[in-house]
Amino acid sequence: MYTFESVIRYSETDHNGILTLPALLDYFQDCSVFHSENAGVGYRKLLNERIAWVINAWQIRVKRYPALCEEVVIGTQPYELRGFLGLRNFLLKTKAGETLAVANSVWSLVNLDTLMPIRIPEDMLQAYPLSEKLEMDYAPRKLPFPQEGDIKELPQVKVVPHHLDTNDHVNNGQYIKIAMDFLAEGEVKQLRAEYHRQAFLDDVFHPRLHTGTAEDGAKKYTVSLDDASGKPYCVIELTY
């Protein structure tokens, strides 16, 4: 497993001095970027070849959020590479070894000019030795938006420059931040997200919110960030 160490920064915490969920996701994303750079297949190489990894799905399960100035270790490992798909686990733990959060993710390698998936090249397969899957309760990749129950329309959100990343599309973490802006505060125990297509500068999200209950009685919110026709860019489920 590739790892790096960090200290929880003030800018990563909420008003209680606890790491936020978007900051946790940023740690995981940064870890995958560092891993790729270390393996010699970083984003500059990929941009030169006009290819990029695009996220298809996230599942993050949180046991405990670390506090301000707590020392942590962030890790990642791919456990399956096939066709154009890459499956990757993530781990957040304390320096003493306490597991704080685990995650699963599904990625597609795409051509940046056609936005179509392409087969993973041999040099990239060689750069990422595979590991065993981490132990966690894996949820399905597909995340349909509920069609019945407590559903409401939310204010529109226009994509602006700070939402974009080096691939000139909305960064996967920004979808989560936008969804959470509509929700009450609380400790999210599980995040699931399914990304249907990329959003770009000046696109407009038409969000819908479903409020429900998980099997264990926990509050569960599902947000679909749609276009004007109702087709989703991303569906996000947050269980508190």
Contact yes or no for 23/13 (Cβ under 8 A): yes
In a domain, 67, yes or no: yes
- State mean pLDDT over 8-29: 97
Predicted local distance difference test score (pLDDT) of residue 217? 85
pLDDT interval class at 166 (50, 70, 90): confident
Predicted local distance difference test score (pLDDT) of residue 41? 96
The verdict on 98 and 43 lying in the same domain is yes
Number of domains into which the chain is organized: 2
The verdict on 154 and 71 lying in the same domain is no
The verdict on 109 and 61 lying in the same domain is yes
- State mean pLDDT over 113-135: 95
Contact yes or no for 60/191 (Cβ under 8 A): yes
Contact yes or no for 208/226 (Cβ under 8 A): yes
The verdict on 223 and 166 lying in the same domain is yes
In a domain, 109, yes or no: yes
Q: Which two tokens stand for residue 220?
A: 């569960």
The verdict on 92 and 169 lying in the same domain is no
Predicted local distance difference test score (pLDDT) of residue 215? 83
User: What are 184-226's pLDDT values in tens digits?
Assistant: 888 999 999 999 999 999 999 999 999 999 888 889 999 999 9
In a domain, 49, yes or no: yes
Contact yes or no for 235/224 (Cβ under 8 A): yes
In a domain, 143, yes or no: no
In a domain, 136, yes or no: no
Give percent of the chain above pLDDT 90.
Answer: 95
The verdict on 114 and 51 lying in the same domain is yes
Query: 179: domain range?
Result: 150-239
Predicted local distance difference test score (pLDDT) of residue 216? 86
The verdict on 119 and 16 lying in the same domain is yes
Contacts of 111 (CB under 8 A, 6+ apart): 50, 51, 117, 118
pLDDT interval class at 167 (50, 70, 90): confident
Predicted local distance difference test score (pLDDT) of residue 38? 97
User: What are 60-108's pLDDT values in tens digits?
Assistant: 999 999 999 999 999 999 999 999 999 999 999 999 999 999 999 999 9
The verdict on 31 and 101 lying in the same domain is yes
- State mean pLDDT over 176-182: 96
Among 92, 127, 162, identify where a domain stops. Answer: 127
CA triplet 236, 7, 105: central angle to 5 degrees? 30
Among 96, 127, 158, identify where a domain stops. Answer: 127
User: What are 49-69's pLDDT values in tens digits?
Assistant: 999 999 999 999 999 999 999
Q: For residue 118, with 0-12 CB atoms within 10 Å meaning exposed, 13-18 middle and 19 or more buried, which class applies?
A: middle
Predicted local distance difference test score (pLDDT) of residue 238? 97
Predicted local distance difference test score (pLDDT) of residue 99? 98
The verdict on 121 and 158 lying in the same domain is no
What is the chain's mean pLDDT, rounded? 96
The verdict on 81 and 176 lying in the same domain is no
Contact yes or no for 224/208 (Cβ under 8 A): yes
- State mean pLDDT over 110-136: 95
Predicted local distance difference test score (pLDDT) of residue 157? 98
The verdict on 23 and 80 lying in the same domain is yes
CATH of the domain at 200: 3.10.129.10
